[in-house]
Amino acid sequence: MLLSVGTRPEIIKMAPVYEALSRIKGVELFLVHTGQHYDWEMSDVFFSELGLDEPDLNLGIGSGDQVDQTARVLHEMGKVVENYEPDAVLSVGDTNSVLGTALAASKLEVPFIHIESGLRSYDFTMPEEINRRVADHLASLNFAPTPRAFSNLNEEGYPPERIVLSGNTIVDVVEKMWSTIRRSNILKELGVVEGEPLMTITVHRKENADKEYRMLGIVKALRELDELTIVWPLHPRTYKRLKAFGLLSELRTLEHVMLIEPLGYIDFLRLLSASDVVATDSGGVQEESATLKKPCIILRDNTERPEIVELGFGEVAGANPSSIVSSVRRFLYEEEVRRRIEGLPNPFGNGTASKMIAEVLWRIWDLRSLRHESPHFKGGSPHYVAFKVEGRSKSRGMTVSQFIEVTGYEVIAIYDPSGSSLPFSPSTPLMDGEIVRVRGDPSNYPKLAKLIGG
């Protein structure tokens, strides 16, 4: 099986899956790094700290614009898939590396398996929203981290029997690495006194880092929050943009803000563990905050991880300085809010995601059986038909239950001519102009055809 990683969070989240799969006898793993992230502190450090084998191959993709980077992953990964002929290709997350890998495997008719599927921000200005939507729908099998993610896929017509609710592997990583944080000297190195109010902040999303007004908003908020010690490990994108916007020098004048290089995993986890509040636009850091029961202020206008907000772990504060400041202070000072967070369940799972993923893959070990099988239309899997009730159609006036009895097809949805979905029950009659979506066994199609024809 080919396992693909490309960026910091993919390496971290794939590590326990690699470990769980490598315990299965007779399974050969081929680990490919696309090279999207390449600095030691964005890549190598995680292999050594998380005990992950060195990649068998690095494609050296590096940085580039959205189109170029994705196209190069597709091109280079295509060559690897063709040469290595894996039974399946496995990726985690929503980066350009994941999209390029999903496309390469699918084009070469090798089953693509996606971990961390079904997340949706409904914001198409994010490259990740495009990547995850395409990757999920190309996948022969999706591992959804939360019930919401599971139901998002269902809602989009992805067949439920191809979705496994696994939890997020980040929880497995945090649990495994928790005991190692004792080794970290990061607090001492930074001169942070435990017990004094501390905030960790990370920012790297294109929609923040590349926009001057948003970075300015975040910097203004940090300036005001001077009752806190603030540690900011800078992602290379953010470092470059802050410098270009002239904000780096301003930040350096703030005594309560420490700008540091990106941290290795053990140090970062140690820093989070000592933090009273976390401010971030990162996906993984949101999940880690919930896992460690730390309040999380989301420096974005939306999140594909709404569980954080719904359960009360944090708030979406955007990049507006006053909303960031008031959010941080609310979660820092309101005792009741903090106490509530301590009692919340972790929406991202219980640390068994990678074990479950490995077990599911082991059970269907003949991964080639996933090949060529369109999840929607081939025999055995759901077969959908949609038709309009019109003209002399015999379905006109029939109730939903009569229709089901005659055709053997299940009615999934009824829409009015404008496309709005209509509520229905077994006694609802099918009316002229309505569009009906049905699902059933293709062998019953002739019965259906007789009713839906004019």
Distance CA 410, CA 221 (A): 54
Closest distance to ligand UDP from the beta carbon of 51 (Å) = 15
Piece in contact with ligand UD1 (CB under 6 A), picked from 16-24, 88-96, 182-190, 290-298: 88-96
Does the protein bind ligand UDP through residue 348 (CB under 6 A)? no
Specify whether 204 is catalytic: yes
For ligand UDP, give the closer residue by CB, 131 or 142.
131
Closest distance to ligand UD1 from the beta carbon of 125 (Å) = 12
Among 218, 228, 279, 285, indicate the residue that binds ligand UDP (CB under 6 A): 285
8 A C-beta contact, residue 131 and residue 94: yes
Distances (CA, A) of 66 to 94, 127, 284: 13, 8, 21
Does the protein bind ligand UDP through residue 150 (CB under 6 A)? no
Among 37, 72, 220, 270, indicate the residue that binds ligand UD1 (CB under 6 A): 37
Piece in contact with ligand UDP (CB under 6 A), picked from 206-214, 248-256, 277-285, 350-358: 277-285
Tell me whether residue 6 is exposed, middle or buried, using C-beta atoms within 10 angstroms of its C-beta: 0 to 12, 13 to 18, 19 or more.
Answer: buried
Does the protein bind ligand UDP through residue 288 (CB under 6 A)? yes
Report the Cα 399 to chain-centroid distance in Å.
41
Contacts of 316 (CB under 8 A, 6+ apart): 298, 300, 301, 302, 303, 309
Q: How big is the site for ligand UDP, counted in residues (CB under 6 A)?
A: 16
Provide the phi-psi class of 198: left if phi over 0, else alpha when psi is between -120 and 50, else beta: beta
**Paired residues of 164 in beta bridges:** 143
Token pair belonging to 262: 């990106």
Contacts of 435 (CB under 8 A, 6+ apart): 386, 387, 388, 389, 414, 415, 416, 417, 419
Closest distance to ligand UD1 from the beta carbon of 377 (Å) = 31
8 A C-beta contact, residue 30 and residue 4: no
Token pair belonging to 149: 């993610």
Token pair belonging to 315: 């708030």
Closest distance to ligand UD1 from the beta carbon of 64 (Å) = 7
Residue 63 interacts with which of ligand UD1, ligand UDP, none, CB < 5 to 8 Å by class: ligand UD1
**x-or-dash string of contact with ligand UDP, 190-229, rule CB under 6 A:** ------------x-x-------------------------
Piece in contact with ligand UDP (CB under 6 A), picked from 260-268, 322-330, 384-392, 430-438: 260-268
* Positions in 9-28 near ligand UDP (CB under 6 A): 9, 12
* Angle, CA 304 vertex, CA 356 and CA 308 arms, to 5°: 80
DSSP 277: E
Among 262, 318, 349, 382, indicate the residue that binds ligand UDP (CB under 6 A): 262
Does the protein bind ligand UDP through residue 307 (CB under 6 A)? no
Residue of 204, 235, 376, 383 with catalytic role:
204
For ligand UD1, give the closer residue by CB, 36 or 200.
36
Closest distance to ligand UD1 from the beta carbon of 224 (Å) = 26
Residue 202 interacts with which of ligand UD1, ligand UDP, none, CB < 5 to 8 Å by class: ligand UDP
Q: How many C-beta atoms lie closer than 10 Å to residue 75's C-beta?
A: 14
The residue length of the chain stands at: 454
* Positions in 108-137 near ligand UD1 (CB under 6 A): 127-128
Piece in contact with ligand UD1 (CB under 6 A), picked from 5-13, 144-152, 341-349, 383-391: 5-13
HSE (side-chain half, CA atoms, 13 Å) at 327: 28
DSSP 192: P
Piece in contact with ligand UDP (CB under 6 A), picked from 281-289, 314-322, 395-403, 445-453: 281-289
Tell me whether residue 26 is exposed, middle or buried, using C-beta atoms within 10 angstroms of its C-beta: 0 to 12, 13 to 18, 19 or more.
Answer: exposed
Q: Could you list the residues that contact ligand UD1 (CB under 6 A)?
A: 7-9, 36-39, 42, 63, 94-96, 127-128, 204, 206, 236-237, 240
Q: Could you list the residues that contact ligand UDP (CB under 6 A)?
A: 8-9, 12, 202, 204, 233, 235, 262-263, 265, 268, 282-285, 288
- Which residue numbers are catalytic? 204
